[in-house]
């Protein structure tokens, strides 16, 4: 259950120092840095590790609801930090949390530049579709947290879920699909398909992978 999850009442009350000790001193919540990239349902952390050297100046956070998995990722990051005496891997961290509930408690409107939703749980049954992490309501929340020009990445091996995510994102007024051919220079595409544990598993089983990438656009009514 979520009852034992601790979350701040508002983003300014969040203490990030345990997550990014190199960037936040423990006696102060003030820092020039803010989390800009999040991996929602990060699993075992393969994407975080791959993104760390690609975006050395940005703070990247994985969010994971399963305690044991979060624990694993924490240890993985601690080990990488210990092995790398330079600042490599100081910019990635993981938090146990239910991303379907509390995101706006952690981030200010427009704070995020990238959100990743990779190989999310498919929730096949129609009655369970409300548990899908991409939905019209949640997309409005994601649009609120992403800056204009920010990017939302989705990937899955489940064709039906891919079509669902595309349908919901296409229909949302604050998102616009980035055509696949415009993404050939985006280093994140290789990562989203090949660097997560789930993506690797699909590759081993020679399964298909689908992705769709969206840009947060300006609100036409503002």
Distance CA 34, CA 13 (A): 13
Q: Does 37 bind ligand SAM (CB under 6 A)?
A: no
Q: With contacts defined by CB under 6 A, how many residues of the chain interact with ligand SAM?
A: 19
Q: What is the CA radius of gyration of the chain?
A: 17
**Of 60 and 176, which CB lies nearer to ligand SAM in the complex structure?**
60
Distance CA 60, CA 50 (A): 11
Q: Which two tokens stand for residue 62?
A: 């994985």
**Binders in 195-214 for ligand SAM, by CB under 6 A:** 196-199
Q: Does 157 bind ligand SAM (CB under 6 A)?
A: no
Length, in residues, of the chain = 222
Beta strands in 65-143 (DSSP E): 92-96, 112-118
The nearest distance, CB 63 to ligand SAM, in angstroms, is 5
Which span sits near ligand SAM by CB under 6 A: 61-69, 82-90, 142-150, 157-165? Answer: 61-69
The nearest distance, CB 112 to ligand SAM, in angstroms, is 15
| One-character DSSP codes across 121-137 | ----SGGGGGG-SS-HH
Q: Does 59 bind ligand SAM (CB under 6 A)?
A: no
The nearest distance, CB 131 to ligand SAM, in angstroms, is 8
Which span sits near ligand SAM by CB under 6 A: 37-45, 84-92, 107-115, 210-218? Answer: 37-45
**Binders in 93-122 for ligand SAM, by CB under 6 A:** 98-100, 118-121
Distance CA 194, CA 197 (A): 8
Known catalytic residues are: 121
Residue 213, burial from CB neighbour count under 10 angstroms (0-12, 13-18, 19+): buried
> By the criterion CB under 6 A, which residues form the site for ligand SAM?
41-43, 63-66, 69, 98-100, 118-121, 196-199
């Amino acid at each position: 259950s979520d009852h034992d999850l601790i979350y701040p009442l508002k983003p300014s009350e969040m203490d990030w120092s345990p997550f990014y000790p190199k960037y936040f001193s423990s006696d102060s919540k003030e820092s020039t840095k803010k989390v800009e990239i999040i991996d929602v349902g990060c699993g075992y952390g393969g994407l975080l590790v791959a993104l760390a050297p690609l975006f050395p100046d940005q703070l990247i956070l994985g969010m994971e609801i399963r305690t044991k998995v979060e624990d694993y990722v924490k240890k993985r990051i601690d080990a990488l930090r210990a092995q790398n005496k330079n600042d490599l891997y100081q910019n990635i961290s993981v938090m146990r949390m239910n991303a379907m509930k509390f995101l706006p408690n952690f981030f200010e409107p427009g704070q995020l530049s990238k959100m990743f939703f990779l190989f999310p749980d498919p929730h096949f049954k129609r009655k369970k579709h409300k548990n899908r992490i991409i939905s019209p309501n949640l997309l409005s929340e994601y649009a609120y947290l992403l800056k204009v020009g920010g990017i939302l990445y989705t990937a899955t091996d489940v064709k039906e879920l891919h079509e669902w995510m595309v349908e919901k994102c296409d229909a949302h007024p604050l998102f616009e699909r980035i055509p696949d051919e415009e993404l050939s220079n985006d280093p994140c595409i290789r990562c989203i398909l090949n660097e997560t544990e789930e993506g690797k598993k699909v590759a081993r089983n020679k399964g298909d992978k689908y992705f769709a990438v969206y840009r947060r656009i300006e609100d036409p009514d503002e």
